[in-house]
């Protein structure tokens, strides 16, 4: 049963890590624009941007 003494702090630590990550997300404003983030992931940031290039591809 001694294994519990190690496992529970470990589980708690992981949980706290998640909580910390959540706070960090909040602080860096990642919940400010939930709609935009869904689209941003599809953007080719490394490709040269042409103005209004997304318009045609949208259909």
Partner 1 sequence: MAAQDLSVFVRHRDGGVASMELAVDGIRCAGCMQAIEGGLAREPAILGARVNLALKRVSVEWREALLRPEAVVEKLAALGFKAYPFAPERQEDGAAAEERHLLRALGVAGFASMNIMLLSVAVWSGNSGDIDPTTRDFFHWLSALIALPTAAYAGRPFFESALRALKAGAVNMDVPITIGVVLALMMSVAETWNHGRHAYFDGVVMLLFFLLIGRYLDQLMRRRTRDLAGNLAALKAETATRLAADGSATVMPIAAIAPGDLVLVRPGERICVDGIVETGRSELDQSLVTGETAPVVIGQGERVHAGTLNLTGALTVRVEAAGQGTLLDEIDRLMDQAVGNRSRYVRLSDRAARLYAPVVHTLAASTFLGWLAWGLPWPEALMIAVTVLIITCPCALGLAIPAVQVVAASSLFKRKTMLKEGDALERLAEADIAVFDKTGTLTLPEPDILNPEALPAERRAEIGALAAASGHPLAQALARALGAPPSAGNVHEERGQGLSVGEGDDERRLGSVAFCGAQAEAAMVAALHPGASLIAYRHGSFRTVLALGQALRPQARETIAALRRAGLQVAILSGDRFEAVAPIAAELGVTELHAGLMPGGKLALLDQMAADGHKVLMVGDGLNDAPALAGAHVSLSPVSATHLAQAAADIVFLGESLAPVADALTIARKARRLMLQNLAFAVLYNAVAVPIAIAGLATPLVAAVAMSGSSLVVTLNALRARAAREVRT
- Which residues would be at the binding site for partner 1 (CB under 8 A)? 1, 4, 8, 11-12, 15-16, 18-19, 22-23, 26, 31-36, 39-40, 42-43, 49-55, 57-58
Smallest gap from Cβ 47 to partner 1, in A, equals: 10
Residue 27 beta carbon to partner 1: minimum distance, rounded to whole angstroms: 9
**Shortest Å, Cβ 6 to partner 1:** 13
Q: Kindly state the DSSP code that residue 50 receives in the 8-state scheme.
A: P
The secondary structure of 11-54 as a DSSP string is HHHHHHHHHHHHHHHHHTTTTS-HHHHHHHTT--SSSPPPTTHH
């Amino acid at each position: 049963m001694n294994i519990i003494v190690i496992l529970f702090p470990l589980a708690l630590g992981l949980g706290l890590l998640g909580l910390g990550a959540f706070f960090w997300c909040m602080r860096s404003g990642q919940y400010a624009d939930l709609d935009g983030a869904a689209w941003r992931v599809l953007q080719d940031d490394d490709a040269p941007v042409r103005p209004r290039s997304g318009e045609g591809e949208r259909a």
